[in-house]
Chains A and B, each alone.
Chain A
Amino acid sequence: MNEAAFVRRKLQGRIMFALCAACAGLAVTVLFLILGYIAYHGFANLNWSFFTRLPKPVGETGGGIANAIVGSAKVVGLGGFIGVPIGVLAGLWLAEFGDNRLGFAVRYAADVLNGVPSIIVGLFAYSLVVIPLKHFSALSGSLALAFIVVPIVLRNTEEFVRLVPHSLREAALALGVPQWKVVLRVILPTASKGILTGALLALSRVAGETAPLIFTAFGNRFWDGGWMQPIATLPMAIFTYAISPYDDWHRQAWAAALVLMLFVLSVNVAARIFLKPSHGDAHG
């Protein structure tokens, strides 16, 4: 009787654990299917002119999306140029001087910005720049991406600065170094590896953002006309090509998706490898 109950309980455990393993297996399988499918269709449609040519007019086959690749680099670059310094400085303040009410408010604001859907951030940039200027622009797209970068970099910087041992601070202060110099010359360099990796991850994340660019950077079939004009970007190109009715555009969408995904995934994997030793130690 007892024996039978024990066998039943063990069997129940086996079944439940098998189900759990199946869940994890399914998640991993789906990821590899996604990667495989995109690699298959992407490589099949990738060629040299894809990287070097402008899009052809509707109806003609061939051409490339060189303008979108350059456009993405420009929009993400300016977004990072605005967003990363703000995030790093605010994160530095939060870790060093932020254990007070203002620190709570800053942390709360960063959490709010972090949780806001990216399309809402796009609405904000639209309302801030596009409506007053009455036209779409690369600048408004960069601002939208910068607003997404700030909270990510901020919380990441705070975490890594807090990991710097107090003994290091105290040693420098005991030598009579002014505090601002301690922060800039001792603490910041010590935490710089984590901070930079975090910034890179944030940039790779916004490089794939589409929603905030639809009504800010908009899109452009040609080379862009400066920061105040609409500009083509890689994710927007994928989106417009994917929902278009043309087979040739669909093929280009796959190729563009492959390029974007290779960039995003290689940054993520590199960040993981780069951070491994120190991060692993710190977290036991």
Chain B
Amino acid sequence: MSSVAEERARPAPAIRFRRPGDRAFQAALGAVALLVVALALALAWQLAVRSHPVWAKFGPAFLWTSEWDPVAEKFGALPFIYGTLASSALAMAIALPLGIGSAVFLAELAPRGLSAVVSFVIELLAAVPSVILGLLGIFVLVPAVRAVEPTLTRPLGFLPFFRGAPYGVSLLAAGLILAFMILPYITVISREVLLAVPRSLKEAMLGIGATRWEVVRHVSLPFARSGILGASFLALGRALGETMAVTMVIGNNPKISLSLLDPSYSMAAVIANELAEAASDMHMAALIGIGLTLFGITLLINAAARLMLYRLTRPRAG
């Protein structure tokens, strides 16, 4: 990363190319590059056009009503928005401490060789296709959650978060599986950011008698804060849009419930389950409307992530 930044900082050779062949070549490559911009615009445009009927009929209330009845053509996206946000929040709550803890271990404690091997293994976790994690979710995670649920409801049942029958398929199962999907993003980026903390800062702190943990706590982590935050937002963007693993374990029930043990639904899951067999044009428009909303949310989250990671790399590039 740093070497790319250095290359970029060097001025490109200022030569003017007047040969017609060069100009044609530049134009041809530029046209392909423009095609990429056109793709992104076309994506947003298509989603907006195809979902227009649902906005025309229900207006923005589509986003905060919760009745979903394709047969009666009543559509409200709130249960799906809630399920997406709740499962992602749960995943973040689990993955963030785990990921930062792993990153601290890899950057500060582990020998260089071990650190490289372990972070590669963790990166491999990100390469496992989500449908395979979903398969494990159905046959391993869900039965495990179902078995654990009664022991959760008995002591904690007075809380609204731990109520209901033990189905296994639940917000909790979705949150757990998402946590392991986003863990690699948080760990790998946080590790890189922590490795970039200047040695002199850490040595200064050690020199005045701090323990190694105090150096991590008061120098490394604060220094790496915006990078870790950026990594977290990147992971959050992944969690919000994840489809297969969530679809297979969340229970696919469009009801809003505070309980983590109740089956729920997510925006990506409802599109995956219903679009291929959409009952009517309005049903299709509603599903694409949910897609447009999800697109908007991930766009915002990713922009925030990039802003934070950009701010981080900027001062060192200059």
A residues sitting closer than 8 Å to B (CB atoms) are 9-10, 12-14, 16-17, 19-24, 26-28, 30-31, 34, 37-38, 86, 89-90, 92-94, 96-99, 102-103, 105-106, 109-113, 115-121, 123-124, 126-128, 131, 136, 147, 150-151, 154, 159, 162-163, 166, 169-170, 173, 178-180, 183, 204-205, 207-211, 214-215, 218, 235, 238-239, 242-243, 250, 253-254, 257, 260-261, 264-265, 268-269, 272, 282-284
Q: How far is the CA of A96 from the CA of B217 in the complex (A)?
A: 42
Interface size class of B (residues with CB under 8 A): 35 or more
- Set of chain B residues within 8 Å of A89, measured between Cβ atoms: 28-29, 32-33
A112 and B40 form a contact (CB under 8 A): yes
- Set of chain A residues within 8 Å of B15, measured between Cβ atoms: 173
Q: Which A residue's beta carbon lies closest to that of B46?
A: A127
A253 and B135 form a contact (CB under 8 A): yes
- Set of chain A residues within 8 Å of B1, measured between Cβ atoms: 283
Would you give the shortest CB distance from B44 to chain A, in whole angstroms?
9
Would you give the shortest CB distance from B298 to chain A, in whole angstroms?
6
The DSSP consensus for interface residues of chain B is helix
24 contacts between A and B (CB under 8 A): A19-B101, A21-B109, A24-B101, A27-B98, A28-B121, A90-B33, A92-B29, A115-B302, A117-B242, A119-B271, A119-B294, A120-B47, A123-B46, A123-B275, A124-B42, A127-B288, A128-B42, A169-B13, A179-B25, A183-B25, A204-B127, A239-B244, A242-B138, A268-B124
Would you give the shortest CB distance from A175 to chain B, in whole angstroms?
14
Q: Which B residue's beta carbon lies closest to that of A93?
A: B29
Q: How far is the CA of A71 from the CA of B132 in the complex (A)?
A: 18
Would you give the shortest CB distance from B234 to chain A, in whole angstroms?
8
- Set of chain B residues within 8 Å of A17, measured between Cβ atoms: 104-105, 108-109, 212-213
A239 and B131 form a contact (CB under 8 A): yes
B residues sitting closer than 8 Å to A (CB atoms) are 1-4, 7-8, 10, 12-13, 15, 17, 19, 21-22, 24-26, 28-30, 32-37, 39-43, 46-47, 49-50, 97-102, 104-106, 108-110, 118, 120-125, 127-136, 138-140, 180, 183-184, 187, 211-214, 216-217, 237, 240-244, 248, 268, 271-272, 275-276, 288, 291, 294-295, 298-299, 301-302, 306
Q: How far is the CA of A121 from the CA of B138 in the complex (A)?
A: 25
- Set of chain A residues within 8 Å of B98, measured between Cβ atoms: 23, 26-27
The verdict on A123 contacting B187 (CB below 8 Å), with A93-B32, A163-B3, A183-B25 known, is no
B122 and A27 form a contact (CB under 8 A): yes
A166 and B299 form a contact (CB under 8 A): no
A12-B213, A90-B33, A118-B241 are known; give 12 further A-B pairs, CB within 8 A: A10-B211, A20-B104, A27-B102, A90-B36, A93-B32, A117-B294, A123-B46, A180-B26, A210-B131, A257-B131, A260-B129, A283-B2
The verdict on A20 contacting B298 (CB below 8 Å), with A13-B214, A93-B29, A106-B37 known, is no
